[in-house]
Structure 1
Amino acid sequence: MNPFIFGITGTSGSGKTTLITALLPWFRAQGLAVNVIKHSHHPLELEPPGKDSARFRAAGATEVMVASPYRYAIVRELAGEAEPTLAEQVARLRPADLTLVEGFRREDIPRIEVYRPAHGRAPYYPCDPSIVAVATDARLDTLLPCLPLDDTAQVGRFILAMRGRNHLDPLDPGAFPQAMDMAAA
């Protein structure tokens, strides 16, 4: 089975990370293994400059693995190589039931936008066809399903419906009546 990849998008400070952090234990309680990929436009510094692993990279190592009995991390210097695609990044991960992605907005994957009108930033959903629903704390004038941002279970069920894990049709207004109530003006 191909991995199911689903995006969480929104402007900075909208609550994307908070939503993903809330969804992870909910998915785990459903018996699912979930990976997360976060894209950053900033240089990643995963260790202080004086640590051995940073010194190895500075000395020219292409990849450095730091391993312990509890976890490991691989830091790869791209050194002018093209940034790996989302598919290439997913392929590096252990297989999972679901991979949530924050970022990689140019990739063609279904997404929920976290949108809070009170933040004063324009939403993406009117112009981004990859957005299949909006998780929000407000009433919106859109035909997209609007999910209550504070209802982790409902957002999680929506994502599972998109994955085809249950019989709910995420685009059927009857499948998520509370979500559609929020969309009503």
Structure 2
Amino acid sequence: MSPPIFGITGWKNSGKTTLTERLIAVFTGRGYRVCAVKHAHESFDIDQPGRDSYRLREAGARRVLLSSPKRWALVHELAGDPEMPLDWLLGEAAGFDLILIEGYKREPFPKIEIRRDGTSSRQPLAGSAPQIVAIASDRPSEETDGLPVFHLDDIGGMADFITAHLRLGAARR
């Protein structure tokens, strides 16, 4: 069974990563084991030129596994194959209490939309995306079509909302 999923969405430079980071800190502080999924731009790279793993990938390895006593990582080069579907990626999240997803605006799971003054001239997403169930904003008095609205600094309130919305059980410390 897949862990409960909740998303953070918004337009570019709205603060999605910062909000996701702050929510992860609250949930882990409450004892939940959190998996984070971030939809990145096509050109992202976690490997650094000159590092051993980068050299192995550049030599043609389609998959490089790195392991140490503190962490492990998997780098899989798609080499022209299509992007992995979100459902497949979520299969990698077994054993967690909560999955927080940054991005994936149109995927069907509940989300908080970030709206920040001056970061985008684009229209709010909530009207066209029924999976948005709340708003986080630096101007919380704005019209939000009846959705719950939180100030961007009310991280505890958002975490409480997510906990109730997903009906999360007690954390497994």
TM > 0.5: yes
In 1, distance between residues paired with 2:94 and 2:44? Answer: 22
- List structure 1 segments (4+ residues) > 3 angstroms apart after TM superposition: none
Letter matched to residue 40 of structure 1:
A
What residue in structure 2 maps to residue 135 of structure 1?
A: 136
Which ranges in structure 2 are unaligned for 5 or more consecutive residues? none
Aligned match of 1:162 in 159, 162, 165?
Answer: 165
8 Å Cα contact 1:63/1:74 also seen in 2: yes
What residue in structure 1 maps to residue 18 of structure 2?
A: 18
RMSD: 1.6
In 1, distance between residues paired with 2:46 and 2:101? Answer: 20
Does 2:131 correspond to 1:147?
Answer: no
- Residue 119 of structure 1: how far off its partner (Å): 2.6
1:88 is paired with a residue whose SS is helix
What residue in structure 2 maps to residue 2 of structure 1?
A: 2
Q: Which moved more, 1:150-159 or 1:54-63?
A: 54-63
In 2, distance between residues paired with 1:120 and 1:62? Answer: 37
8 Å Cα contact 2:3/2:97 also seen in 1: yes
What residue in structure 1 maps to residue 56 of structure 2?
A: 56
Give identity over the alignment, percent: 41
- Residue 120 of structure 1: how far off its partner (Å): 4.2
Q: 1:71 to 1:94 in 2, by over 3 A?
A: farther
What residue in structure 2 maps to residue 116 of structure 1?
A: 116
What residue in structure 2 maps to residue 67 of structure 1?
A: 67
Does 2:123 correspond to 1:126?
Answer: no
In 1, distance between residues paired with 2:138 and 2:25? Answer: 21
Give the TM-score of the pair, scaled to structure 1.
0.83
In 1, distance between residues paired with 2:73 and 2:40? Answer: 17
In 2, distance between residues paired with 1:155 and 1:164? Answer: 14
8 Å Cα contact 1:133/1:144 also seen in 2: yes
RCO higher in structure (CA 8 A, sep ≥6): 2
- Residue 66 of structure 1: how far off its partner (Å): 1.5
2:133 is paired with a residue whose SS is strand
Letter matched to residue 59 of structure 2:
A
- Residue 99 of structure 1: how far off its partner (Å): 0.5
8 Å Cα contact 2:2/2:93 also seen in 1: no
Which ranges in structure 1 are unaligned for 5 or more consecutive residues? 167-185
Which structure has the greater CA radius of gyration? 1
What residue in structure 2 maps to residue 77 of structure 1?
A: 77
In 2, distance between residues paired with 1:120 and 1:57? Answer: 37
8 Å Cα contact 1:6/1:109 also seen in 2: yes
